[in-house]
Structures are given as C-alpha cells and as structure tokens.
Amino acid sequence: MKKSFYYLLSITLIIMLSFSCTSKVPTKEGWSLVWNDEFNGNKLDLTKWDYQIGTGSQYGLNGWGNDEAQYYSPENVSVKDGYLVIEAKLENKEGMNYTSGRVRTMTQDGKPLFTTTYGRIEASMSLPKGNGVWPAFWMLSADESYGTWPLSGEIDIMEARGRLPNRVYNAIHYGQPWPMQKYTSSMYKFPTGEDITGFHEYAVEWEPGIVRWFVDNNLYFETSSWWTMPNDAEEPFPYPAPYDKPFYILLNLAIGGTYDEYRLPKDYEFPFQMKVDYVRVYEKTTGYNYDVIRPIPERDSKALEKYRVENGNYIMDSDFLTATQEGLKTNTMDKKSGNWYFLALSDFAGKAVGEAKDGAFNIDILEKGNEVHSVQLLQHLGIAKGYTYIIQFDAKADADRTISVKLGGDDDNGWAVYSSQYSPTLTTEYKTFKYRFTMENNSDPEARLEFNVGKDTPSVSIKNVKVTTVDF
C-alpha cells in the first residue's frame, strides 16, 4: 500500500511538472505549439538537439563553408538558469585559435530529431556584441531533396554582426550551385535604446509560397520570390521549391569568416555568450494553402521592346570586331554602341594585351594584378526589369584557371550586380558555359556584361557570347 502511494505520488508530480513547463508557453492565436525547448534542465536535451563538432572539414567545408575561425566543441554549450548558453572562447583547438558551439535538431550522423515543413519558428535570445562575432538562428534542408547547397535552400531567421549591435539580418538562399547562388535579404534596426544584447524574439512564419520575418512580433520583411535548379537543367524545379520540404533548426556562434569581411575580436574581449531562452515551433491551426504559383515579377515590357534585337542575342558584336582599349584611355566608352571594351587596369596592377581573331577574343596576361577585375572584357547592353536572361559563352585557357563573369550596372546605391557572380573553371579545350538570372532591379539600358580575368596568369580565349531572354 505504501509503495503504491509513493508510485502514484511520483506520477502525479511528473504530470504536474510537465503541465507546469508546458503551461509556461503562451498560446498564440491561429497557431498550435508542436515542438519547443524552454531549456529548464541542466544539460542539453539530446532527444531534441545534437552538437556539430569541428571546423566543417568532415563535410568537405573550409571553416563551415564561410572561412570561420573557430572550432565547434560540445564543451562550449551548456544549459543553466533556464537558458541555452553558447560560449566563444579564446583557446587553441585542432589548429584553430578559438572555440565555440553549434547545435541543431539533427544528430551528428544526419538523423533528424525534429524537422518541419512550414510553421512559425521562433526563439528568444540575447546576443553578444563585438568585432567578428556572428550569432545565428537558421534552418537547412533535412534531406537535400533538390541537391547540395543552395539548391535545397536555407532560411536565416536571424544573423547578427556583433560590431553592429543595433541591427539584425535575415535571408533565404536559393538558385544554382555555388558560385551562382542567389539570396534575398533584409535588415531590422532596433528602436533607440535597444540592441542585440537584450532579449528579443526572432521568428519566421513560413507558409507555401511565402516567408515572413519578425522581431518582437514586428513584421519587417517578406518574400515569395525564389527558384532553384541544377546547372544542366533548362527550367527550375516546380515552385515553391526548395521551400516545400522538411527543414531542421540550427543555433551557433561563429567567429570571423566571410559574413563580416574576416573581422576578428581582440583577445581581451573574450569570452562571448549567446543566450537562448526558448525555441518554439507552431503550426497554423487552419492549415495551409498549398495551391500556390510562382509570382510573376513586375515586367518592364516597354524597356524590353526598346532593347530587343532581331536575332535574339543582345550581344551586338559576336565576333569582337569592335573590341578596343581606346575608351579606357580617354574615358569615353560609348555605352550605347554595343562595342566591346578591353580594359587592363593599372590601378589594380593589371597589364594585358588582347586580340580578336577567328571569331574569338584572346587575352594574354602580362601582369595578373591584385583583383579579378584587374583585366576585363566588357560590353554594355539593355536589360529589362522582371525578365529572365541566359548568359552563354565558350571559353578556354592556356592552363586550368577560373574567371569571373557578371552582369551589373548603376542603381541608386552605386554599382549593382544584377546576376550572380559566375566563376567557371576553364581548361585547355573550349567548353560552353551557361547560367541564368532574373533582373530584379530597375531596367538598365546601359547594363554591363563583364568577363573578369585578372588575378591569374594563364591566357584566356572567349567566343560565341550570347545573352538571350527566356520565360519560366
């Protein structure tokens, strides 16, 4: 009888504690809680999270793909006083000068602990400030259904640059394989007197065909525009790919890397702490509308008609008969002529000679310079807002090397890149390269197609350049 009494008492206490923990989570109108961690224990709940360890080399990544400067270690992750704490320390480990922590709702061997397709995903966090500190709350595809990054997508719910504590950023990544990836991003600026060091709730509401971002329930950005496709495909995967598959959740605190131009903290500034009060996931009570179609971008049809060419190729001189260096020397490039211009920029230590021969333009690099744009071949052409373009060309080099190709121009903020920067690897045999982009900026009658071939010495030959429009 006594044993039964204590057994019943134990069960009652467990139920009461469970109810107590659950009851702390506020209800949210229109949403039902499906997963959460309030971090009320004294260690990481390994039924919900697991660690990622190391530098990313086990995945073939250098510094987790971003040249980050830390080694991720379980010892830098703790749960105490109702918070998940990720701490970055000044200590050497496996050749890295810093250690920090990264956790995700996926096991180390890639088995999902929790994933979701759609919903409201939110976390309350206090973030550290300082040069080179990069806290993040984000999501990745659980099974890479559409291919490796970025084809299967990435949702950055919150990223912060610690040296700019009055703002946070968001993003989605999509498009074609690196380096032709695309992303859409925005920024939230805190009201006067607030910054990332205070506790704030960061959230996304992800539904079929739309993603919305919030800080403290303030909607500050939304988008429905994305696409994804492999290099050898003619059309993207059906919309809303890649944002129609299960994603898992990540939390980490990085040091250095590409996100803030390789800045690093001073040694005396360590340690840094990222504190997480809770992570919660809700599903929409009324369900989702799965009948969505790709949004048709606003198209500048008048500009398209104005720029249109008879043969469909917006490149006016496919044989490079107009290629000249005179425009550079006199600063009088005629942006409306359709002429090719060959530039070797002494400001960036570039020196080269070019020649049009047999329908190709051959570039001999004399001084490679210190930037890819130290040596350029370029042409101006009209690009209309809302239309999709394919850039295609044949190229080779005297030895294996990469070049950089992009199409950009001037906008209200200065120089703008309209296409992704494409960096194909050339071999000693001609190969056809092709990639696409959608013009999301305002129409530009003087957009600039650049072949940047500096920063390396092998000579380059380019021919059969085409820029054409497509619909998808």
Ramachandran angles phi, psi of 94, nearest 5°? 50, 40
CA distance 439 to 383: 7
Q: What's the half-sphere exposure (Cβ side, CA atoms, 13 Å) at 396?
A: 6
CA distance to 34, 386, 387, 417, 468, per residue, from 296 (Å): 34, 8, 10, 21, 19
What b/e sequence results for 50-82 when a residue is b if at least 16 CB atoms lie within 10 Å of its CB, and e otherwise? bbbebbbeeeeeebbebebbbbbbeebbbbeee
* Number of CB atoms found within 10 A of residue 233's CB: 11
CA distance to 176, 181, 182, 432, per residue, from 234 (Å): 12, 16, 17, 15
Q: Which residues are catalytic?
A: 154, 159
Burial class (CB in 10 A: 0-12, 13-18, 19+), 336: exposed
CA distance to 335, 363, 374, per residue, from 346 (Å): 22, 16, 7
- DSSP annotation of 198: S
Residue closest to 74 by CA, chosen among 100, 98, 48, 97: 100
CA distance 159 to 252: 10
Could you tell me if 31 and 283 are in contact, meaning their C-beta atoms sit under 8 angstroms apart? yes
Q: Which residues pair with 424 in a beta bridge?
A: none
- DSSP annotation of 63: I
DSSP 110-167: S-BS--BSSEEEEEEEE---STTEEEEEEEEESS-TT-TTTTT-EEEEEE--TT-TTE
